[in-house]
Amino acid sequence: MPVMKTETFDFSAVFDSAYLLEVHDNDLNAIAEIFMTAHEQIINEIHLSKPFAERGDAESLRQRFHRIKPLWGFSGLHYWQQHVQVFEDFCCRKPDRENLKESYHRLIQQMEIGLNLLEMESNRLKNHLH
């Protein structure tokens, strides 16, 4: 059983620290693990989504991002979860291929900002714990 580190850590303001601490029972190790797993899974899902964007397959793209969405939420980055939700809704309106690709690329840019935040916070937290 991992030893729980309960000391305080100043999360960056963009992260919902109250949510993270409540969900993980103040276990900073568990939060660090969530950051790493979410980062890894989001990159993987984005990679898998690319062919659908190229083909203009809105429904498959929506399903892919539906899997990504809670990863942002569980990482305490609710704003990014909302971004994905907006994109999912957009996909439901069956946009044409060009519109879909444009919207997809805008979303990916947003996702990359979120991924950087996640990586930086993950590293900061790991350094704090070690």
Partner 1 sequence: MNIKAIIVEDQPMSAEILKKFCVRSGIVNVLHHFPDAVLAAEFLQQNVVDLVFLDVEMPGPSGFDLLDQINMQPQVIMTTAHTNHAFTAFEYNVCDYLKKPYTYQRFLDAVGKVITITANAKEKKKGEEDIFIKCNGQVIRLKTSEILYMESMGDYVRFVTKDKKYITHNSMKKLLSQIDPDIFCQVHRSYIVNMCKLNDFRDNNASIEGHLIPVSKANKAKVKKHIKVLQ
Of 46 and 71, which has the nearer Cβ to partner 1?
Answer: 71
The rounded distance, in Å, linking the Cα atoms of 61 and 127 is 36
Residue among 41 and 123 whose Cβ is closer to partner 1: 41
Inter-residue long-range contacts of 101-108, CB under 8 Å, 24+ positions, other chains counted: 101/53, 101/54, 101/56, 104/49, 104/53, 104/61, 105/53, 107/65, 107/83, 108/46
Q: Least distance (Å) from partner 1 to the CB of residue 12?
A: 18
Min CB(57)–partner 1 separation in Å? 15
- For residue 51, the minimal CB distance to partner 1 (Å) is 16
Shortest distance, CB of residue 98 to partner 1, whole angstroms? Answer: 26
Please report the beta strands in 41-115, taking only residues with DSSP state E, as ranges in sequence order. none
- Beta carbon nearer to partner 1, 73 or 114: 73
Report the interface residues with partner 1, using CB under 8 A. 19, 22-23, 25, 30, 34, 37-38, 41, 63, 66-67, 69-71, 73-74, 78, 81, 85, 88
* Rounded alpha-carbon distances, angstroms, from residue 18 to 11, 15, 120, 127: 10, 9, 19, 21
